[in-house]
Chains A and B, each alone.
Chain A
Amino acid sequence: MYAKKIVLHFPHSLVNKPILHKLSRDYELEFNILRASITPDEEGLLVLELKGDEPDYKNALEYLKKEGVKVQTLAQDVIMDEEKCTHCGVCVPMCPVLAFHVEPETKKVIFIQDECIACGVCVDICPMNAMEVKI
């Protein structure tokens, strides 16, 4: 059994296609939707855990790419540089999976790394360059 976590980025035009249905029907993959949302530029975003045989998994990825879906494996880590972060909070509404929480008492911004899907939005928009991709 082969299992992997991946992030799928759907362009606007594909949002309504039955892509997931094909993954299970044609490639016999089991999938588990961890998260689904729409990013700032209106692209669909799905975080999936896929299980199945390795060749099927590879073929499925080929199929997804052909359809125009951008596939990202969750191999990257995004980290917060505590020295640089000023706890402004401008990243909070930008994160598609709500990985930033504002502590009610102190108004400090807490980054929950386990929830992060490494989409890179905060890395681009943080005015203090406090969010970094670590490979």
Chain B
Amino acid sequence: MAKTIKEINEKIKKGKAVVVTASEMIDILEQKGSQAAAAEVDVVTTGTFGPMCSSGAYFNTGHTSPKIKFGGGRVTLNNIEAYTGFAAVDICIGASAVSYDDPKNKVYPGEFNYGGGHVIEDLVAGKDIELKADAYGTDCYPGKELKTKININDINEAVLFNPRNCYQNYNIAVNLSDKIIYTYMGALKPNLGNANYCSAGQLSPLLNDPYYKTIGIGTKIFLGGGIGYVSWWGTQHNPTVKRNDLGIPLTPAGTIAVTGDLKQMESKWLRGTSMLGYGPTLTVGIGIPIPILNEEIAQYTAIRDKDISAAIVDYGTAYPKGINESIGRATYAELRSGTIKISGKEVPTGSLSSYSKAVEIADTLKQWIEKGEFLLTESVASLPGAESDYKLRSFKVKE
């Protein structure tokens, strides 16, 4: 009894769609079986809220009088470097951008209390952002210097554009060396002092649609508290890695690029983040609805933490050297228990991605759909899939 997205949208408009979160779907499937679950449930909502470094935003500030061309010059926003290589007044800022004056890791480990991710959070919160610009001046854009404040409500466009979000599964980071290290996976204590992980597990969008059967280019999503779209596959998309019987990749696999109007987002779901000794980033809230078109998709959305396992990787030596090997595996059920066993040692676990916020996102999206405020979209093109020949390459440095 297959359904179409069009039929589901008709039900949503009438307020009759059955919408559940991915964690609720687990129980439904267990109690009723996949056939009945597929017939009953129309949409499953997913969610994730974790640091996603490959995030950024672009703005068009509007033109001043006299005009100035930022392109080719230099712009800072709250002292953080922005990118000016697009025309006159389009500027771009990445979550990992740091101020030139920041001591960075010269005072080790660097604090990175304010960076690109924080600028994005402050802008979305409606705070004034200080803009400083140096330009070289042209006949048509004579301005050479500008120091002013911009506000999200006054500029033309403000668009979140994230080249890589929502990693489908991720490493568990540990440190086998004998001194503490500071990574994008958090501080890692020496000699297996802790094991950090970063995925919403059974609530994570791409783990609930492991073969990208419904999530594709054009899919409408919850993005930063507002509405966004999957705009492309993400950078480092790697769909052809090994998978388990349920289709769950054993190592980091698919990713998506997402975009949306920042003006309708909330700073609560776009949080500037400081990774000690590593740098600033942005914690992004994403929720993706999965239309239950058939029994197979129903089964995918009932994935449980105990069915998802991740590779344990040593960030003390192997990772920085680019050695691709894991020292073991653990499931998300084990990770969430608080400790995992590695080489006979009980290692306490820490999560970078917030499960309770992921639940809140999946619940919010569920409410939007139930109220008829959010309709599903048909994707316009698929992401490169597990059967494709799409692969992640490493960088072979030429002599």
A residues sitting closer than 8 Å to B (CB atoms) are: 40-42, 86-94, 102, 106-108, 124-125, 127-129
Contact = CB atoms under 8 A, between A and B. Distances in A.
B119 to A, nearest CB: 15
A87 B356 contact: yes
Given A91-B350, A127-B51, 16 more contacts: A40-B193, A86-B49, A86-B271, A88-B353, A89-B350, A89-B354, A92-B350, A93-B193, A93-B350, A94-B194, A94-B350, A106-B359, A108-B356, A125-B186, A125-B187, A128-B283
Interface string B7-43: 0000000000000000000000000000000000000
A127 B112 CA distance: 10
28 contacts: A41-B179, A41-B180, A86-B49, A86-B271, A86-B354, A86-B357, A87-B357, A88-B351, A88-B354, A89-B350, A90-B352, A92-B338, A92-B348, A92-B351, A93-B189, A93-B193, A93-B194, A93-B348, A106-B356, A107-B356, A127-B51, A127-B273, A127-B274, A127-B276, A127-B281, A127-B283, A129-B113, A129-B274
Interface footprint category on B: 35 or more
A83 B271 CA distance: 12
A13 to B, nearest CB: 15
B301 interface: no
A98 to B, nearest CB: 9
Interface string B268-301: 0001011110000101000000000000000000
B357 A102 contact: no
A114 B273 CA distance: 27
Given A88-B354, A90-B351, A127-B273, A102 B338 contact: yes
B352 A127 contact: yes
A102 to B, nearest CB: 7
Contact of A89 (B113, B276, B281, B351): B351
B349 interface: yes
Contacts of A92: 338, 348-351
Contacts of B274: 127-129
Q: Which of A41, A87, A90 has the most CB of B within 10 A?
A: A90
Interface of B: 49-51, 109, 111, 113, 179-180, 186-187, 189-190, 193-196, 271, 273-276, 281, 283, 336, 338, 348-357, 359
A86 B283 contact: yes
Contacts of B271: 86, 128
Contacts of B196: 90, 93
A88 B50 contact: yes
Contacts, number: 80
A102 B349 CA distance: 11
Contacts of B350: 89-94
A135 B305 CA distance: 42
Contacts of A90: 186, 196, 350-352
Given A41-B180, A124-B276, A87 B354 contact: yes
A41 B277 CA distance: 14
A41 B178 CA distance: 9
B184 to A, nearest CB: 10
Contacts of A129: 113, 274
B273 A128 contact: yes
Instruction: Please give me the 5 A-B residue pairs with the lowest Cβ-Cβ distance, nearest first.
Output: A93-B348, A93-B194, A89-B351, A107-B355, A40-B189
Contacts of B109: 124
A38 to B, nearest CB: 9
